[in-house]
Structure formats: structure tokens, C-alpha cells
Structure 1
Amino acid sequence: MNCLACQQPIIEQRSWQNILLLPAEKKMCSQCEQQLTRISQPTCSYCGRNDTLDCQDCQRWVTKVVLQQNRAVYRYNPFLKEIIARFKYRGDYQLIDMFNKELKHAFHSHYNQLKATALAVPIPLSNARLQARCFNQAEAIAQRLPLSISNLLIRTEGEKQAKKNRKARLAMANPFMLSPQPTSKDRAIVIIDDIYTTGATIHHAASTLFENGYHNVYSFTLAR
């Protein structure tokens, strides 16, 4: 098996434990794994960031408590930035399989208290973006979590967030509306996306849900 990130052969150390337990086939080599930084103890209790005590991104959001908290698996470093770019923009869909185990582990670690009735709500793409990309990266992440998926949100604006600077992202109008599909408003909602940067996208999504009666809203991302 070759590493999905660097295409080099994955060499595993042989042990009696490996033979007896028949571990799942690895998708990433140890060299690439070492370039990822897991977020194990978030410093910011709100957004899950782990490199600062004074989280500037959260100061504008805490006055509008529509999101309980965000939690992420990894820090958004240059290595992960390149992996996500290959996954999202260059159609290398299989790269998401490298994170199957860590996505589940991190989700259970942070959200084990949520009931089994909680729903994963992926951040939607516009119809044009979905047609061009052929998949929604947030939905691909949601499919690897132990939750039922509900497409409760519809995107009404299709401009790429990657093209916007920090100021533009924070100033953007809410691009979401609620879909007409019925869902119990007593269920916890976990918004799913690939990256939490300024928090604008996720907070707009949370605001849309909150304004429509969903008051138990969390979020979970691959990177922060």
C-alpha cells in the first residue's frame, strides 16, 4: 500500500499484535503523519484553537451565542493546507480516507456527550460549485462520522471563500437559508466543514439554524 499523500510505500513494523489483531490498512505513511499537528487540548474553549489564549477570532462571536463550540482535528499548517487543496480543488477525493480514523477518534473525544439522535449538517456548496467539483468536501467528512446526515442548509451565494481576505470574510452577508425538509428541533446539530478560519461561514450557518428554532448547535472541522 502506498501513502495517499506522498505515494511512497507504507512500511509497517511487524509484531505479534499486528498479526493477531489484523489492524486496518494504513492510508498514510509515518513521515506524512508527523507533519500533521493534532489538536488534543484546545486553548480557546469556544473555537478549539490551540495556539493562543487571547483568541481574536472569537471576540466578535461570543456576544452572539448561537454556536455552542467548534472542535477540530488538526491545526491548519502548510502540509494540511496542501492536502486540502488537492482534495477540494484538484479532485483527489481519496485523500479524505487518510483521516477516517482520526475524524472518528476526535469526534468521540470532543462530542461523546451528544445523543445518538444528533445530526451532522454539512456546509453546503452552491449548485454551480457542486456541479463543477462533483462532491461536497464537508459532506465527505460528515460521511465518516457516526451521525445521520441532514442537508438542512441551502447556500444562496456562490463566491469562493478562498478568494476573500479576512476582512471580506468577516463582513460577508449570511449566504444560507433553511431547507424545507422537516427535522425535530429538539435534536442537537453538528455543523461540518473542512476548515474553521475566521468562523464567519460556520457562524452564519449556526445563525440560520438558531433563528429557525435549532438552539443546540455545535460544529466540527478537519482543520483549525
Structure 2
Amino acid sequence: MSYCLYCHESYTEAWSWEALIGLKQSLLLCHDCEGKLVRIKGEICRICSRDFSIFPEQYRQGDCCFDCIRWKEDETRTGVLQQNRSLYVYNDYMKELIAKLKYRGDVEIVKAFYPVLSSTFKMISRDAILVPIPLSDERHYERGFNQAELIAKGIKKPVEHLLKRKTHEEKQSKKTREERLSQKENPFEVIGSLKVKDQKVILVDDVYTTGSTLRYAAKVLIEAGVKEVSSITLAR
């Protein structure tokens, strides 16, 4: 008997050969809660992981979505982020689940995704440094934890805190798409430059929205000598 990390109801895991030999990861969620998650798989944007099955055909070009094509045209941030891999579509249920983690302090819920996070990391790079996207000091004090750091711990690799937010600003979730993309000043700085020279880095965050935050972080890391930057997020 197990207890769901979201609704806290007891449930019995369904028996299968895949689970027995380790091919199917248990999410530590009951069947009803797990069924509300939409895993990103199949045909996706090769850069940002956008699920093409729920995206209009006219907004893509080959294996890239138009958002990523626009990023390529931005001379200041083109090529800084090699790829992003997100686990799930940011639907209403995932939005509520992440809100429960970030704003209501249910830190245990992130453990539901640890098995999938670990396997996704292995598909991107086994030898990269994990770097969580930092909160401002004020936001960290207010929340008591950094959700990106909790997510990164699920990958079971050493986590390096190589980035710092220079300023405290309005929550990204409160900003419009235009406000996120129009920001000019890079909010991050590198605080461990000696550790990053010629290394591969995987940034970790909760949600990929426009990709602006991850690209700002990737840019300062590349400028500090990092060889390559990718990212993992729970949702896209």
C-alpha cells in the first residue's frame, strides 16, 4: 500500500513486467493523479521540447517551433542554450501541482518526479554539472526553499550553485510574455567561475515558458567559459 504525494489517498500499484524489471518508473502518485499529467513525448521541438501534437502546424518550421527560430535571430542570445527537455505539458493540473510546491510549501510532492528526472538527465548528458536556477535572496527567504534546487536533487548528481540573482524583481509568473522577452539587463551573475571552465552545464528549473530565464542564465555561463548549456524543467 502506498500514499499519493498529491492527494494523500492510499493506492495499490498495478503489477506489470515493466515495473518489475525497472522499465516503468513509479511516480509515487495514485492512478487518478498520474492520469491527469500529460507526458511530453513523440514529435517535439528539438530545442525547447514543445509538444507538436498539441501545437498548430503553422507555428513550426521543420523540427523547430517559431519561438526557437526567433531566438536564433536574437544576436545576443542565439545558440546559448543547446536544448531544453521538459517532462510534462503545463496543463491546469500541472499548474496546480507546481503551485502546491512553490506557494503552499508542499516540498514532498517534488519527489514524485525524481525517477523520471533521473532518466531524462541520462538522455541529455551523464557528465554535466547540475546548476539550479537561483531565487533572489528575498524570494528564498520568503519561500524557505528553492524549488529548482529540490528538483535538481532528484537527479542524484552533485548540484553546484554557480549562479546568483543580482536583483529582486517581480515574480516571473506575474509577468506577461512581452515583459519577459523585453527585459534587457541580465538578472544573473556567475559566482563560481573557476568551476565552470570548459564544462558542460545542465540548468534546472520548474517551468519553461518563453525560455528567457534559461537563456539569460546560459549566456552568463557561456561568457564565464562554460562549453555547453542545456536545461531540464518539469513542465513546458
Letter in 1 for 2:222: F
1:152 and 1:181 in contact (8 A); partners too: yes
The residue that corresponds to 2:11 in the other structure is 10
What is the alpha-carbon root mean square deviation over aligned residues? Answer: 2.4
Distance in 2 between the 1:48 and 1:92 partners? Answer: 27
Distance in 1 between the 2:133 and 2:83 partners? Answer: 16
The residue that corresponds to 2:42 in the other structure is 41
The residue that corresponds to 1:131 in the other structure is 141
1:35-66 deviation per Cα after TM superposition (whole angstroms, max 9, x unaligned): 11111234211111113351232123123111
TM-score, with structure 2 as normaliser: 0.84
Unaligned residue ranges in structure 1 (runs of 5+): none
Distance in 2 between the 1:17 and 1:74 partners? Answer: 21
Q: Aligned-pair distance for 1:97?
A: 1.0
Q: Does 1:183 align with 2:195?
A: yes
Distance in 1 between the 2:192 and 2:224 partners? Answer: 11
3-state SS of paired residue (2:80): coil
1:72-103 deviation per Cα after TM superposition (whole angstroms, max 9, x unaligned): 11111110110000101110101101111111
1:66 and 1:215 in contact (8 A); partners too: no
The residue that corresponds to 1:74 in the other structure is 88
3-state SS of paired residue (2:51): coil
Q: Aligned-pair distance for 1:153?
A: 0.7
1:155 and 1:176 in contact (8 A); partners too: yes
Go from structure 1 to structure 2 and tell me whether the alpha carbon gap of 1:167 and 1:33 turns closer, same or farther (over 3 Å shift): same
1:201-223 deviation per Cα after TM superposition (whole angstroms, max 9, x unaligned): 00100111112221311111111
Q: Aligned-pair distance for 1:161?
A: 0.5
Distance in 2 between the 1:85 and 1:72 partners? Answer: 17
Q: Does 1:202 align with 2:202?
A: no
3-state SS of paired residue (1:60): helix
1:121-165 deviation per Cα after TM superposition (whole angstroms, max 9, x unaligned): 100000011011111111111111143211111101222101101
TM-score, with structure 1 as normaliser: 0.89
After superposing the two structures, state which structure 1 stretch, 58-67 or 136-145, moved more. 58-67
2:102 and 2:147 in contact (8 A); partners too: yes
2:181 to 164, 170, 180: 170
Distance in 2 between the 1:219 and 1:176 partners? Answer: 16
2:161 to 119, 132, 151: 151
Go from structure 1 to structure 2 and tell me whether the alpha carbon gap of 1:66 and 1:28 turns closer, same or farther (over 3 Å shift): same
Tell me the matched-pair count. 219
Identity over aligned residues, as a percent? 42
Distance in 1 between the 2:21 and 2:81 partners? Answer: 44
Letter in 2 for 1:128: E
Q: Aligned-pair distance for 1:191?
A: 0.7
Distance in 2 between the 1:141 and 1:193 partners? Answer: 7
